[in-house]
Amino acid sequence: MRLLVVTQYFWPEPFRINDLVEDLVVRGHEVTVLTGHPNYPEGQVYPAFKSSPGDFGEYAGARVLRVPLLSRGKGSLRLALNYLSFVLSGLGFGTWRLRGQAFDAIFVFQTSPITAALPAIWFRRLKKAPLLMWVLDLWPESLAAVGAVQAPRLLGLVGRLVSFIYRRCDRILVQSKAFLPNIARYARDTTKVRYFPGWAEPVFHGPLEEVPPAPELAPFQDTFNVMFAGNIGEAQDFPAILDAAEALKARADIRWLIVGDGRAAAALRAGIQARGLGDRVHLLGRHPLERMPAFMRGAQALLVSLRRDPAFSLTIPGKVQAYMASGVPVLGMLDGEGARIIAEAGAGLTCPAGDGTALAQRVRELADLPSQERLAMGQRGRDACASHFHRATLISSLEAWVEEVRTTSP
């Protein structure tokens, strides 16, 4: 099949859409990706892309068409302009670059912003091809949850936009079953909704004991290390994590290692300094996805967190599957679906979102467990990941849904 993938984020930015595109090409499909200039999460276009953009026009056999956009930069206004610029550039430059090309289906990777689907809706009409959208982030609820939008009238307008987009999708794929009531509210039709969770990237499936530990972990080889890996943003509630670190300040054997970067990194650094936690909480910077197993090799627990908010309780953070696949116990400070998956798998310990005191207690419990019990906990996570989040099985389901809408759409 000839597939058009529309996504604001794509390789070399670290998202699962990269894996999906690679697998579709391996399965014999002709894939074209329409995306922007890579600038996530730092907010500036990658230097390697700026110096040689021609090197980024093909990925794993897929053709990559990049349209210009305003980089994310710093601040809410700049982020909003980044979102808008992709829509306008996708409609304008995208239409020109895709002229004369036919597609059997269009696929949208929808993390924030949902506005990235607007060019795809135009191409659905222009190319007369069915549209499938993978929803990983609920709008407008997530906007309110992180404080980006609070005005009820503006949230109502965003809700109308969401409804406009959902009603023009032939299939809506959701990463969490808890998304269904929200989708029903805005799409007014749940018959076109399918459950399509995320998976762990291939780099996390190998045994960690076969991976050389990252050199950056040398100072922490004799401590119990709680590691957070990924985006440092408002949604991850780092103030509550620092509450837990402060509560455990007397435990000289416990360290908190943060591997990643993001828009809230400066506030995190300031919080560490203000609380006098510089010898307990360590920021190790952002590193390529391929190096993550080497960092996880030095962790005794992997931390996932989300702020307390009804919208966040519905979602499953993408790192949950990667953590489980790594075979390291998972510590979850979150509510709802994410906590349920960790608990039902027996893959770790959880506590309510935003409760730093409870997180500190869970860290104590895990640190005081015999190492064999922690190993068994990690193995249960690996087993559950293989059973419920198997990448090949999930992408086979996607192929079937694409074929279904391709043959039934008018």
- The arithmetic mean of pLDDT across residues 381-398, rounded, is 92
Average pLDDT on 34-60 reads: 94
pLDDT of 151 above 80: no
Return the pLDDT at 147: 64
pLDDT digits (tens, 9 = 90+) for 61-97: 999 999 999 998 888 789 889 999 999 999 999 999 9
In one-letter notation, the amino acid at residue 106 is I
Sequence-separated (6 or more) residues with CB below 8 Å from residue 106: 3, 4, 5, 6, 120, 123, 124, 127, 129, 130, 131, 132
C-alpha 142/C-alpha 138 separation (Å) is 6
Query: How do residues 187-243 score in pLDDT, each as one tens digit?
Result: 888 899 999 998 988 888 887 888 888 999 999 999 999 999 999 999 899 999 999
Q: Which CATH class is domain 2-199+390-408?
A: alpha beta
3-state secondary structure the chain: CEEEEECCCCCCCCCCHHHHHHHHHHCCCEEEEEEECCCCCCCCCCHHHHHCHHHHCEECCEEEEEECCCCCCCCHHHHHHHHHHHHHHHHHHHHHHCCCCCCCEEEEEECCCHHHHHHHHHHHHHHCCCEEEEECCCCCHHHHHCCCCCCHHHHHHHHHHHHHHHCCCCEEEECCHHHHHHHHHHHCCCCCEEECCCCCCHHHCCCHHHCCCCHHHHHHCCCEEEEEECCCCHHHCHHHHHHHHHHCCCCCCEEEEEECCCCCHHHHHHHHHHCCCCCCEEEEECCCHHHHHHHHCCCCEEEEECCCCHHHHCCCCCHHHHHHHHCCCEEEECCHHHHHHHHHHCCEEEECCCCHHHHHHHHHHHHHCCHHHHHHHHHHHHHHHHHHCCHHHHHHHHHHHHHHHHHHCC
Domain boundaries, the chain: 2-199+390-408, 202-388
For residue 144, the model assigns a pLDDT of 67
Give 241-271 pLDDT, tens digit per residue. 999 999 999 999 999 999 999 889 999 999 9
Residue 100: predicted pLDDT: 93
Q: What is the mean pLDDT of residues 30-38?
A: 97
> What's the confidence (pLDDT) of residue 353?
97
Nearest to 73 by CA among 41, 112, 25, 110: 41
**How far are the Cα atoms of 296, 368, 375, 385 from residue 204, in angstroms, in the given order?**
9, 26, 16, 11
State how far the Cα of 60 lies from the Cα of 324, in Å rounded to an integer.
26
Residues 278-299 have a mean pLDDT of 94
Predicted confidence (pLDDT) at residue 52 exceeds the cutoff of 90: yes
Q: Is the confidence at residue 300, as pLDDT, over 70?
A: yes
Q: What does CATH list as the number for 202-388? A: 3.40.50.2000
pLDDT tens digits for range 304-343: 999 998 888 888 898 999 999 999 999 999 999 999 999 9
202-388: same fold as 2-199+390-408?
A: yes
For 117-144, how does the pLDDT look when each residue is reduced to its tens digit (9 = 90+)?
999 999 999 999 999 999 998 887 777 6
Q: Say what the pLDDT of residue 62 is.
A: 98
